[in-house]
Each structure stands twice: as C-alpha cells, then as structure tokens.
Amino acid sequence: MTGATGVLGQSNSASPSYKLLSAPELGGGGQVGNGSDIRGELALGGLAAGSVSRVTAGGAQENFNYIGQLYDVGGIVVEGSPSTIDEGDTRQLQAVATLDDLTEVVLSAPELKWSVLSGPLSGISSSGLATADSVYADAAVTVQASSQGVNGQLGLTVRNTNGDDFGGYAGDGLPDDWQVGHFGEPPNADAAPQANPDFDPYDNLTEFLTGYSPVDAGAFFQLSIVDTMGSRTTLALSKVVPGTRYRIERRNDPAADPWVELMNFTTLNELFDHLVEDPNAPGPRWFYRVGVEPE
C-alpha cells in the first residue's frame, strides 16, 4: 500500500460507538466527518456514489453499502473520442483510473488535475473539456491527467480547417502556412500581403499568386514577348500555378486606349515558360499585361 488513500475513518470502524454508513449524497471530493471528532479529506473524488463511507455517531441509520475500501491509483488512462479536434472546437476528455484492486473509476476534480504538455490547446477545464487554438497546419497535442502522483497521457490532433485564421496572420488573404513557412510565426510585419521584403517588383500577395518566393529578390513573375510574326504574337509567362486565374489584356495606345481582355485561364499543373498566342494583334504597336487573382 503506497500513496494516499481515498477512504477515511477506517481506524474508527471498530469502535462500538460508530457505524459506517454509505453516503451517496456526499458526491465526490467532499469533506466528511461526524461533526465533532472525525474529519478527513477524500483523496480522490471520482468514486461512484455509495463507495465512500461516512463515519457517524449514534447509528440512527444502517444502510450499509461499501465500507472502508482502500485503494491506490495504479494507472490512469485518458480517453477522448474522436482523437481529432477542429481548431477552435472542444473535446470532452475523461480520465479513468485503474485501482490496485483492478476496479476502474472515472476521476474528477479536485483530485484530478489536467494539463497541456505540448501543442495548441488553449486549455482544459477542470471537468476535462479541452479547447483547441487556431492553427496554421494540423498539429499534435499531448494532454495529461494526474492524480495521486500518477499520470496518464493522451495524444490528440488539432485539425487545420481554416487556412487563414492563425493569430496575426488571420484574415489577410494569404494562407497562414505559406506565411509561417517563409516568415515564421506571427507577428512579423514582413509577412503582410502588401509587404515586399525582398524588394523585387512584387508584393507578397502577388508572389503567392504567381508561385514565387517572397524572400528571393531574384525570383519573380515575368511576362515576355518571345516571337512576333505579322499580327501573331507569342507571349511567355515565366510560370503558371494551380489556384490562380491569369488574365491577359492588350491595348494599342497606352495614353488613350482601355485594356481589352484577350483571354483568361487557370492551370491544373505548375508549368514553366508557358506560351500564350495572340493571333490578331492590331496596329503598328501594342502592349500586354497579365493580371492574377485567386481562382
């Protein structure tokens, strides 16, 4: 027998002036006693009603149920199903102790202590309700339940169900995992959509939409004319990526004409040096531009 025990009054049970009565009204964790000279704290509050005995004087009632069971917590198993939590959501956890007589009891506060060992949980309530933080990618967490110096642990996964909700990177139109991958966890002003920390021609949002690194001054989207034959012009887009819509526009007089859309398209695969043909370019000179937007 080691450690604290969960039953009080056992030393008094042999006294002729006391009787042990079951005490279902006590619930878990309460302080019980006979009001004068017997008093103790339950060491573990999750025992089912009726399994904790109360010492009382006089013996007005004799509803014997369980008396004087002694136990140690041999092990704790933490249960929670399913083992995934969507970010921002909650999951009810339960800690089950196996006692040294091989019975099992569900533990509860205050004898049971919850803690988050690692991972993005904002906390666990005293009743075992775990709340997941926002994440930028699926993330593992480990929770622990402790009682009487015995620990039980459980691994859970917080699922990333919203790609743009992570801390200081939330709601800015850039995927949080892309921002964390290039700029680390927030806050980082360099990660803002309109920032251009590599001082190339394009801001971060454009770099993302065109599939280029926002931290490499030598890597950025380029549009070029690779061939002209009469009114037929071939354009090259340095790279096209899935998830982005490309819009090709043309005009003749940059001072007077509006841009006219020639085509727009998306791609299923990342392609380099993607060629686009304009078969009917008018006039002695003309200009092109390409716009990008989320697909």
Which of 276, 202, 213, 287 shows the shortest CA–CA distance to 250? 287
Nearer to Ca ion by Cβ, of 73 and 219: the residue is 219
Distances (CA, A) of 144 to 71, 90, 92, 116, 123: 21, 16, 13, 6, 11
211 binds Ca ion (CB under 5 A): no
What are φ and ψ of residue 158, in 5° steps?
-90, 120
Nearer to Ca ion by Cβ, of 79 and 177: the residue is 177
Which of 219, 246, 222 shows the shortest CA–CA distance to 236? 222
What are φ and ψ of residue 132, in 5° steps?
-90, 140
Nearer to Ca ion by Cβ, of 84 and 115: the residue is 84
160 binds Ca ion (CB under 5 A): yes
Binding segment (CB under 5 A) for Ca ion, from list 122-130, 143-151, 200-208, 275-283: 200-208
200 binds Ca ion (CB under 5 A): yes
From CA 95, how far away is CA 46, in angstroms rounded?
Answer: 10
Binding segment (CB under 5 A) for Ca ion, from list 97-105, 192-200, 270-278, 281-289: 192-200
Which stretch of DSSP H or E encloses residue 147? strand 139-147
Counting residues that bind Ca ion (by CB under 5 A) gives: 13
* Shortest Cβ 210–Ca ion spacing (Å): 10
100 binds Ca ion (CB under 5 A): no
State which of residues 164, 177, 185, 190 lies at the interface with Ca ion (CB under 5 A).
Answer: 164
State which of residues 172, 177, 190, 249 lies at the interface with Ca ion (CB under 5 A).
Answer: 172
Q: How many CB atoms neighbour CB 287 within 10 A?
A: 12
Q: Which residues in 3-42 contact Ca ion (CB under 5 A)? A: none
Cis peptide bond prior to 24, omega within 30° of 0: no
Nearer to Ca ion by Cβ, of 173 and 283: the residue is 173
Nearer to Ca ion by Cβ, of 111 and 207: the residue is 207
**What's the token pair of residue 53?**
């005995």
174 binds Ca ion (CB under 5 A): yes
165 binds Ca ion (CB under 5 A): yes
Residue 132: HSE in the Cβ half-sphere, 13 Å Cα cutoff: 29
Contacts 24+ apart (CB under 8 A), 31-34: 32/8, 33/8
Nearer to Ca ion by Cβ, of 198 and 278: the residue is 198
Q: Which residues bind Ca ion (CB under 5 A)?
A: 160, 162, 164-165, 169, 172, 174, 176, 196, 198, 200, 202, 207
